[in-house]
Amino acid sequence: MARPLKDIIAELEAKYEGSELKNDLMQRRLIIGSYQLHMEYLMMQMRNYEDDVKRTVEFNLSASIISRITLNLLIVMVRTYNRIPAYRDSLERYLLDEEYDENYKNWEEFEKYGKEIEKLIFKLQENNIFAIDEIDKDDALQNRHIIKGFDGQVPPLVNFEQRLAYMNGGELLSCLQYMIDILRKEISDLKMIGLLRNDDMMEEVYDLNYLLYAKKYWPEIQSTFRSHVSHQLLRNKVTISGLERLRYDVMHDFELHQETGRIWYNNSEDKKRLAIELKRKELNEDQWIDYFENVFKIEEYDRWMYELEENNKPRKTIRDFVTRQDIADIVFDKIKSLIQKAKKPKEIVKPFRAAYDAGVLERPTWDAFIADFGKDTIKSETSFNNYTNPEQKPYSGPAYDVIVADFKKLLE
């Protein structure tokens, strides 16, 4: 039996508070696309930088030109750097694992062009192109408050361009060397994500992807899914055996025709292994959505069958409708004492409705009421059903609120 989905969601939210996946698949794709575009643009700027600097020196142009093109390259580097955390999160914590061939290509190019630019920086500093004392790269950054308070990490792009604009040429070159160093480290970490992924974290990865689907995708599908299935079953008369057949059809088709279905069938009892195997398949977005849609449909059949089984169980007395059986007798005795002096149907039903509104009683049936209080207590089944109907509000006022509050105390 699949547990109620709302209970699973609440449990996962509490377990992974602060760790939920922030982006749906469309937002994730935009993050990855933005990073890729910035990386490609950075490669183009790095390719051009060496040629532009060499031409400036060759034609004996003003050193301020080198300062300007260095500043422009630094800005592109920082903007690319600021997209790495979200990009890394999109790689590590989603079951999707597309191949980012262009990124790997860019990462290799970054190393190549980075080395060439470092050689060029060394020559410029050696020739003292700006006619100033040599500037240590860390001192330059600290003096301009670029990394103050960030433990050696480049901060997000907040007034960064304005700060860079006040640097002299020597400081800009030192800052460029620093940015190459830090980007090299970040790119090295990105390359290793797939190789160093900790298998022990994969159960959490699966839970977070399950939670994302449950909150972002399934709500739009669930009501349509149930409505469609109801229409198929015996002219909207849903039966447990009919649901079992449909569940088997979905599961059989999933396991027989889809590789992700076979992975689920073989590993559904071990979420960590299941997540590892799915990650190895390098799922794309369509496969990811299709996988979870099938899993959630199977689970929904389980929940639906359980609901029908519970609804079909004979509940003969009011005690059977109390939400917690450890207080069933207390709730029943309290209701009984409250209706002793009541004469009119509305007053007789009031304690039942108060207990329902307090959450200690499910909506009781007419048969259960008759079983405990007899047919002579209320003559009309319609009156009983109307006053207990949750879509109606027959009771209000301070006196009624006191009764509801008294019932709520029983849950404490």
SS3 226: helix
Give the C-alpha separation, 224 to 211, whole Å. Answer: 20
Residue 52 token pair: 């532009």
Q: Which residues of 138-165 are buried (b: 16+ CB within 10 A; e: fewer)?
A: eebbeebebbeeeeeebbeeeebeeebe
Dump pLDDT digits (tens) for 46-87: 999 999 999 998 898 888 899 889 989 998 998 898 889 889
Q: What are the DSSP calls for 263-287, one per residue?
A: HHHHHTT-HHHHHHHHHHTTB-HHH
Q: Which residue has the tokens 């059989």?
A: 252
Kindly tell me if the per-residue pLDDT of 304 is higher than 90. no
Domain ranges of the chain: 25-196, 217-312, 318-409
Name the residue among 287, 366, 269 with its Cα closest to residue 321: 366
Residue 238 pLDDT greater than 80, yes or no: no
pLDDT higher than 80, residue 310 = no
Give the tokens for residue 78.
């920082």
Query: Comparing 144 with 28, which gets the higher pLDDT?
Result: 28
Supply the pLDDT for residue 236.
Answer: 58
Give the model's pLDDT for residue 128: 79
Separation of CA 295 from chain center: 17
Question: Using CA atoms, how far apart are residues 85 and 204, in angstroms rounded to an integer?
Answer: 19
CA distance 30 to 8: 29
Closest CA to 258 of 288, 222, 223: 288
Question: Cα angle vertex 189, ends 188, 190, to 5°?
Answer: 90
Tens-digit pLDDT profile for residues 143-175: 444 444 344 454 444 556 666 666 778 888 888
Helices (H) and strands (E) in the chain, counts: 19, 0
End-to-end CA distance of the chain: 28
As a whole number, mean pLDDT of residues 98-120 equals 83
Angle at 91 between CA 90 and CA 97, to 5 degrees: 120
Task: Kindly report the average pLDDT of the chain as a whole number.
Answer: 84
Structure tokens at 361: 């009683």
pLDDT of 213 higher than 90: yes
d(CA 57, CA 65): 10
Which pair of structure tokens corresponds to residue 9? 């969601």
Residues 178-187: tens digit of each pLDDT: 889 889 988 8
- What's the rounded Cα separation, in Å, for the pair 399 and 395? 10
CB of 116 closer than 8 Å to CB of 49: no
The answer to whether residue 132 scores a pLDDT higher than 50 is yes
Hey, what are 173's tokens? 């070159």
pLDDT of res. 151 = 47
What confidence category does residue 189 fall into, taking pLDDT thresholds of 50, 70 and 90? confident
Q: How far is CA 280 from the centre of its chain?
A: 21
Q: Give residue 15's identity as a one-letter amino acid code.
A: K
Share of the chain above pLDDT 90, in %: 42
Contact present, 18 and 209 (Cβ < 8 Å): no
Beta bridge partners of 322: 361
96 bridge partner residues: 283
